[in-house]
Amino acid sequence: MGMIEIDDKNFEAQLLESEKLALLDFGGQWCQPCKKLEPILEELSNEYADQIVVGHCDVAKGPETAKRFGVMGVPTVVFLKGGQEIDRFVGLMPRDKIVAKIQGHL
């Protein structure tokens, strides 16, 4: 399935209403760590397609969504279950640690 592009208009329909564990990646085109994290999240969105949904929100295109989650720096990845935040991490994280977080919330 791959990552879903998220903005202020489609956020609720795409992620809050999902029955699956949702990961929302906040980033920016100018952010080098974000560019390194995106392919990892894209891979995981395909590997765990039946269990998770992964959204990417460029903070320039989704400022209200970023504000709603109190995003202070990018990359920030917010984990949502049933529309509620259950976890987050800020900065670039190794793939194996992201996998461990995903598995811990499934």
Ramachandran assignment for 30, one of left (phi > 0), alpha (psi -120 to 50 degrees), beta (any other): alpha
The residue annotated as part of the active site, out of 4, 31, 98, 102, is 31
Predicted local confidence at residue 47, as pLDDT: 96
Predicted local confidence at residue 1, as pLDDT: 65
Predicted local confidence at residue 18, as pLDDT: 79
The residue annotated as part of the active site, out of 23, 34, 41, 77, is 34
Give pLDDT tens digits along the chain (106 positions).
689 999 999 988 888 777 899 999 999 999 999 999 999 999 999 999 999 999 999 999 999 999 999 999 999 999 999 889 999 999 999 999 999 999 999 9
* Ordered domains of the chain (ranges, CATH): 4-105 (3.40.30.10)
57 in active site: no
Predicted local confidence at residue 15, as pLDDT: 81
